[in-house]
Amino acid sequence: MIQFIAVYLCIVPAWPIALAVPVTPGTLTFLGNGYNILFGNPEGDLRTGSGDPGLLITRKIFDFSYDDKKMSLDGRYTVPDQVIMSSRESCRPSVTTAVFEGTKSYQDELKHYVKQLGNSGTTLSGYEFSKSEKYVVTSQSTNVRHHVFFDEVTTCNFGRARYVTELAFTDRFPLSRDFVASACALPTTFDLVEYMRFLDTWGTHIVSEMDIGTKTIKRSQTDYKTLVKFARTIAEHYSANGESISLDMASLRGRLRTEPALFDVLVETLTLGDATRAEPLSLELIGIGEVFDIDYWQLMDRYVSEGLCPAGGDENLNSKRANLVRAMEAYPGWHNAQKSLNPVVQTAITWPVGTYSLPMTNGMSGCPNSAFFWQTGRRFQDTQDLFASNDWSDPCHLMGPYARNNVQQNFCSKTDAVVSEGDTPEWDAGEYCIFKKGSCPSGFSEGWIKWDDQDALNGNTQSGVLPDGVYDHNTLIYYCCREDGDPITPILLPTQDPFFLFRKNDVCQAVQAMSLIEEWFKWDGEDNFVDFTRYYGGSHPYVDSRDDDHKIYYCYYY
């Protein structure tokens, strides 16, 4: 008697692989059964905790007989006349890895374990497994929550079995009685409802081959931000358009498969089979329309005599097979299935983490638009009045106002180190400076510049939020500078609005997708006959200086 044995897929801790797992003939009952690839999933059924929901264990299509007392190739097991089986007593565990970021790449991984033979995979391509609960959960995790997953798959293969389709004609292989009755009852003219019901009942495919053994999947996850940071670290497999950084997952996937440490959150461990019973590791399918070939209906006379089919039923096989092609094309829409896709793995280019200040531009917004509110401030400097000679470049996009004998510096300050989860982790390596506000961001060093403002009737004032400094009758402002990269290599910063950085050395830092103008402002300091004051120290912007007269270079990006 044929036993029907369910495949159980459970979430358990990892277990040691046994050296020997018996392959019982009962495992072979899955051969010749219907399989619904729309609702199937080799990772199991979340609702019931059982095996592949696409495997229709009560819908046998290819019937079995045991008249020939046929044995497996190693002589250990009795197998059906219609089956060839090879088995082994032990196996060496095999470990593979996979990375998927969306339903398309998840689907591609599942296809390694459920393969469609011949042309049967073209009609439903892109819809496979899409109505399974596990697929829906994965879609939410990848396409909505933007998780990327890493699988470590350990398999032990204990054998392989296949239905010998090439002998179906010569050896007059039988079909199951209930399938024959259903197939013969199908109308010869296309009826959408009838053919949809037939596919729901019998599946879209038939299991014709399978590997047998055990499988464990350890699944971990990470987020987009981690992978973008990794890609930028290795300087490969990404592109930036000024607003976002996008990963080329097709080229990066192979590298990520060797980087399990990036996926530091263990989500689940899935186990198929155990030390006492092997289960199907992978299935190979033929389309259900293939069974309407005359090769599989060599016992039609018997089916007619048993009242399962009308006389001449074999004459309608071709029309029913054509109808099934139409039915398969309509099947995803009938169940409102959505085609798989991979989202673009990308992160927005935002102002980096940390606290800092930038010079305010004379644009409409003054400060760049961002997800946070820039705190603004102003410092009015009363510079040398007698023979005043402040000067500036043309153009000069500083907010001002400025004149020959005074200047107002205006500031945009980011006072929250981390604004949102999507913040770019750090400033890029390069050669540039920003104003210091709090601690310098990672990778920067601190420095300062001091201005000797007008002594007599000094009119210095300030208001709002200012960079770190000393603001009295003179002005001292702190900076954060770095010179750990080539200024010709563009860094990534938001491009929606103009902004300033300071030139650190000989040239301005390039910024991805931004045009650049080098500008300058020269302060005329107090004219002192004898002056031993230090006017700058540490790591500071490049200064053309004659005593207390400072010419500082601004890099304007637009």
pLDDT tens-place string over residues 266-307: 999 999 887 777 888 999 999 999 999 999 999 999 999 999
Scan for tokens 């050669």, then name that residue. Answer: 431
> How far out from the chain centre does Cα 359 lie?
37
| Partners of 238 in the β-ladder | 247
Whether cis (ω within 30° of 0) applies to the bond prior to 425 is no
Q: What is the pLDDT of residues 218-272, one digit of tens each?
A: 999 999 999 999 999 898 999 998 889 999 999 999 999 999 999 999 999 999 8
Task: Quote the CA–CA distance of 259 and 96 in Å, as a whole number.
Answer: 13
Provide the Cα torsion 262, 266, 267, 271; round to 10°.
120
The closest alpha carbon to 32, from 77, 68, 83, belongs to 83
The closest alpha carbon to 551, from 449, 479, 481, 476, belongs to 449
Q: What residues contact residue 389 under an 8 Å CB cut-off, 6+ apart? A: 404, 522, 524
pLDDT at 165 > cutoff 80: yes
pLDDT of residue 534: 86
- The 3-state DSSP class for residue 339 equals coil
Q: What is the pLDDT of residues 389-438, one digit of tens each?
A: 899 999 999 999 999 999 999 999 999 988 776 566 789 999 999 999 99
- What is the 8-class DSSP label of residue 5? -
Higher per-residue confidence, 478 vs 548: 478
pLDDT of residue 531: 65
- What is the 8-class DSSP label of residue 175? B
pLDDT of residue 327: 98
Q: How many CB atoms are closer than 10 A to CB 420?
A: 11
Scan for tokens 């060093």, then name that residue. Answer: 445
Q: How many CB atoms are closer than 10 A to CB 393?
A: 17
pLDDT of residue 478: 99
pLDDT of residue 190: 98
| Partners of 412 in the β-ladder | 358, 376
With a pLDDT cut of 70, the percent of the chain lying above it is 93
H helix runs in 387-488, sequence order: none
Q: Could you tell me the pTM of the whole model?
A: 0.83
Q: What is the pLDDT of residues 55-89, one digit of tens each?
A: 999 999 999 999 999 999 988 888 999 999 998 87
- 553 and 503 in contact (C-beta within 8 Å)? yes
pLDDT of residue 188: 96
Q: What is the pLDDT of residues 367-399, one digit of tens each?
A: 999 889 999 999 999 998 888 889 999 999 999
Q: Compute the average pLDDT of residues 338-342.
A: 96
Q: What is the pLDDT of residues 145-158, one digit of tens each?
A: 999 999 999 999 98
pLDDT at 3 > cutoff 70: no
pLDDT at 14 > cutoff 60: no
Q: What is the pLDDT of residues 199-214, one digit of tens each?
A: 999 999 999 999 999 9
Whether cis (ω within 30° of 0) applies to the bond prior to 401 is yes
Helix 224-234 to helix 249-256 angle (10° resolution) is 90
The closest alpha carbon to 268, from 95, 10, 7, belongs to 10
pLDDT of residue 480: 99
- 60 and 176 in contact (C-beta within 8 Å)? yes
Q: What is the pLDDT of residues 527-556, one digit of tens each?
A: 776 566 789 999 999 999 877 789 999 999
